[in-house]
């Protein structure tokens, strides 16, 4: 899949755990884990907005497109 999820990188930069971020954003740790591992098929803009707010980043810091080789 050419969309890469860099949520783990942003979480590491902010020194925040999966459980802490899930509490702040208001989604379950399981759903956040699915997003973090790149297995999610979609993300709501409201969820993306909340994650960006908590991590003080832009959507492009979390989601990256790469051409398939």
pLDDT at site 2: 87
CATH of 3-57, one of 3.40.640.10, 1.10.260.40, 3.30.565.10, 3.30.465.10: 1.10.260.40
Contact 38, 7 (CB under 8 A): no
pLDDT in tens, 33-50: 999 999 999 999 999 999
Name the token pair of 35: 């997003």
Dist. CA 48–CA 67, nearest whole Å? 22
pLDDT at site 1: 58
Contact 4, 69 (CB under 8 A): no
Helices (H), 1-69: 7-13, 18-25, 29-36, 45-55, 59-62
pLDDT at site 58: 97
What ranges do the domains of the chain cover? 3-57
What are the φ and ψ backbone dihedral angles of 25, each rounded to 5 degrees? -85, -30
Low-confidence ranges of the chain (pLDDT < 50): none
pTM, rounded to two decimals = 0.90
């Amino acid at each position: 899949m050419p969309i890469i999820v860099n949520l783990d990188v942003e979480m590491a930069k902010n020194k925040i755990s999966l459980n802490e971020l899930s509490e702040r954003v208001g989604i379950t740790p399981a759903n956040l884990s699915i997003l973090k591992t790149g297995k999610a098929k979609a993300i709501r803009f409201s969820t993306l907005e909340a994650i960006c707010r908590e991590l003080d980043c832009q959507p492009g810091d979390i989601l990256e497109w790469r051409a398939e080789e």
